[in-house]
Chain A
Amino acid sequence: MDILVQQLINGLVLGSVYALVALGYTMVYGILELINFAHGEVTMFGAMIALAVISALMGAGVDLPGVVIALLGLLTAIPACMLLGYGIERLAYRPLRNAPRLAPLITAIGVSIVLQNIAMLIWGRQYISFPPILPQGHHNLLGARITDVQILILITSVVLMIALTLLVKRTQLGRAMRATAQSPQLAGLMGVNANHVISLTFIIGSGIAAVAGVLVSAYYGLAHYYMGFLLGLKAFSAAVLGGIGNLAGAMLGGLLLGVIESLGAGYIGDITGGFLGSNYQDVFAFFVLIVVLIVRPSGLLGQASHDRA
């Protein structure tokens, strides 16, 4: 029982990070029908930039509480990633807006490779550790352990998800985004500047990705130039699971995927009699993805669309 609760907690925490990254995928896909392969790399840049700032501050002997230093790192990473997201859209995707579908997909892969290698040139091939500046305590919850960092991740993610939902549902910009997702031409006729909306979508998604990157590096205590790739794939799986283009779906899909992965890794050894072990953790995301796409291509909360599947 304790193990079940523990895996559930771990899964929810991990899943909330997946959900944050998945939001970026789903927002872009909702408007452009483009899988922004580079989104995982934006997440990685968020983590790397924040870590660079944190270690620079600590190296300079700045005497501030750890949480404040981490916050300063985060506050640098967010605008930097927003700029990065904006740049990617302007330079790599916008010129191809009317090209056949394969062209922007290949470009997205190209951008992802370029970003990975730039990060590698700047920060090297080695793992960079997240200094222990966040509170290191832990609490008991139904016989399981939940750490301060985990609580911090959960709270941050939930707050961000609520904020984004409000933005999309309640504000003028949100309405413009929804209209553009329905039909860019029609939205244009109603006085919405589609280019403007698309840029803002990339900017907002990249900002959230930066936060997710910092959270995930704080969770594992590590960052690496390659970390965005797998994270991005899993987040995309989460977005598909929930129904791509649907914000609530991305959140649900993220949380669900995190839980499935944790429970799967925890119990797969028992289920298969020791044949498969927890080293198969990364299989679950892809397995879930394939099953969902075959059984219900529109995802859990998505609407059927004849064009996508």
Chain B
Amino acid sequence: MTARKSAWLTFVALAIGLALLPFLVEAGLGRSWVRIMDLALLYVMLAVGLNIVVGYAGLLDLGYIAFYAVGAYCYALLASPHFGLHLPFWLLLPMGAALAGLFGLLLGAPTLRLRGDYLAIVTLGFGEIIRIFLNNLNAPFNLTNGPQGVNLIDPIRIAGFSLGKTHHILGFTVSSPQLYYYFFLILTLVAIFVALRLQDSRIGRAWAAIREDELAAQASGINLRNTKLLAFAMGATFGGLAGGLFAGFQGFISPESFNLMESIMILCMIVLGGMGNIPGVVLGAVMLTVLPEALRYVGDLQRSLLGHVVVAPDDLRMLMFGFALILMMLFRPAGLLPSRQRKNEFKHD
């Protein structure tokens, strides 16, 4: 069998697997796991977006969740009873993405001179400022509804076809989480395709050059300002896109969902998976969404082994996550599937 043929076979098998997955999961593990898969796809989108900023351009961003929040709130406020507006989905999604992109420029412009740790801290501060404003902009006029968040957000509806309901298609019963899965899967694949193409484009090479050596990149005629701003805006647009989808999918959002821990979580996804390398990023995002959920079964395990639950699994989740981060950095700092470039970097040291 030629290499080309086997690549095609893998591709077809993967496509069939991804298409059947939600049915197998719903039958085997239950509907809540299909929802977790939907969330995992959103996180893949977010991780792919953050990877543009951190992995490609080397700009450490700890406030990435702010763009997710902007996209989510844009969708939520314009498609819920909060203002009584119910704008169509196809208008809202690009709007949220564009607004998030604008915020990306807003963050990028003043921080162009910063790098490394300082940039990380400033972006962290930016994320916190956005969250504090979301939390408090319910007075004197009620923009965000404060800590209570926005409720009863319209489900995603495409040309009259609502993803929020169960449908019967060609004799199959397809539940709402399964519909969301297919929709998110398509968008995720588009996002991955765009990210892959970007990496090999002129812009992608410029980003890599900046990441490796800013001075040398500038000397080779790369416009630092525009290239960096583009990375921020591009990453933020992905974040805004995922945010809008999240709001429509979840039906409810509050500032709680956009705290610093989420930013860190997404950063960890790309670091654990293998920064700069799309398959690694996807693996990291899926792993970190699914593993904490799987940890819920630790409660049952304790009951069957020790007779009662000693430590609540919810309390254990973050602890395990923290330990995983430390151990990962100590033993495999380049990630599970490192890009070739980064692997070499770690070898040199």
Residues of chain A within 8 A (CB-CB) of B267 are 106
- Decide yes or no whether B192 CB sits under 8 A from chain A: no
Is the beta-carbon distance between B114 and A237 smaller than 8 angstroms?
Answer: no
Smallest Cβ distance from A244 to chain B, in angstroms? 9
A274 contacts the other chain (CB 8 A): yes
Is B122 interfacial (CB 8 A cutoff)?
Answer: yes
Interface residue from A96, A98, A294 paired with B329 (Cβ < 8 Å): A96
Docked Cα-Cα span, A98 to B349, in Å, equals: 7
Cross-chain contact of B117 among A35, A98, A114, A275 (Cβ < 8 A):
A35
Contact B311 A96, beta carbon cutoff 8 Å: no
For residue A34, which residue of chain B has the nearest CB? B117
Chain A residue at minimal CB-CB distance from B318 = A117
- Give A295's nearest chain B residue, CB to CB: B110
Is A187 at the interface (CB under 8 A from chain B)? Answer: no
Is B52 interfacial (CB-CB < 8 Å)? no
Interface band, chain B: 35 or more
CB distance from B212 to the nearest CB of A (A): 12
The CA of A294 and the CA of B110, in the complex, are separated in Å by: 7
Given contacts A107-B330, A290-B122, 11 further A-B contacts (CB under 8 A): A96-B329, A99-B329, A102-B271, A114-B323, A117-B319, A285-B125, A289-B121, A290-B110, A290-B125, A294-B111, A309-B115
Q: Identify the B interface with A (CB < 8 A).
A: 60, 110-111, 113-118, 120-122, 124-126, 128-129, 132-133, 135-136, 139-140, 264, 267-268, 271, 275, 311, 315-316, 318-319, 321-326, 328-330, 333, 345-346, 349
- Residues on A lying within 8 angstroms of B by beta carbon are 33, 35, 92, 95-96, 98-107, 109-114, 116-118, 120-121, 233, 236-237, 240, 274-277, 279-280, 282-283, 285-287, 289-290, 293-294, 297, 308-309
A110 to chain B, nearest CB (A): 3
**Structural contact, A95 and B268, CB atoms closer than 8 A:** no
Taking the nearest CB of chain A, how far is it from the CB of B51, in angstroms? 13
- In the bound complex, residues from chain A placing their C-beta under 8 Å from that of B132 are 280, 282-283
Kindly name the residue among B264, B271, B325, B349 whose own CB sees the greatest number of chain A CB atoms within 10 A.
B325
**Do residues A114 and B114 form an inter-chain contact, with CB atoms below 8 A?**
no
Given A107-B325, A290-B126, are A100 and B349 also a contact pair (CB < 8 Å)?
A: yes
The 7 A-B pairs of least Cβ separation, nearest first, read A110-B325, A113-B322, A286-B125, A114-B322, A117-B319, A110-B326, A103-B333
B329 touches A107 (CB 8 A): yes
| Contact yes or no, B121 A240, CB < 8 A | yes
Known: A287-B129, A297-B114. A275 touches B326 (CB 8 A): no
A228 to nearest B CB, angstroms?
13
- Give Cα distance in the complex from A239 to B330, angstroms: 28
**A-chain residues with CB within 8 Å of residue B268 when the two chains form the complex:** 106, 109
Contacts of A113 in B (CB 8 A): 318-319, 321-322, 325
How far is A106 from B325 in the complex, measured between Cα atoms in Å? Answer: 7
Report how far A277 CA is from B111 CA in the complex, Å.
Answer: 28
- Shortest CB-to-CB span from B319 to chain A, Å, is 4
Q: From B110, B117, B264, B328, name the one whose CB has the most chain A CB atoms within 10 angstroms.
A: B117
**Residue in A closest to B333 when the chains form the complex, CB atoms:** A103
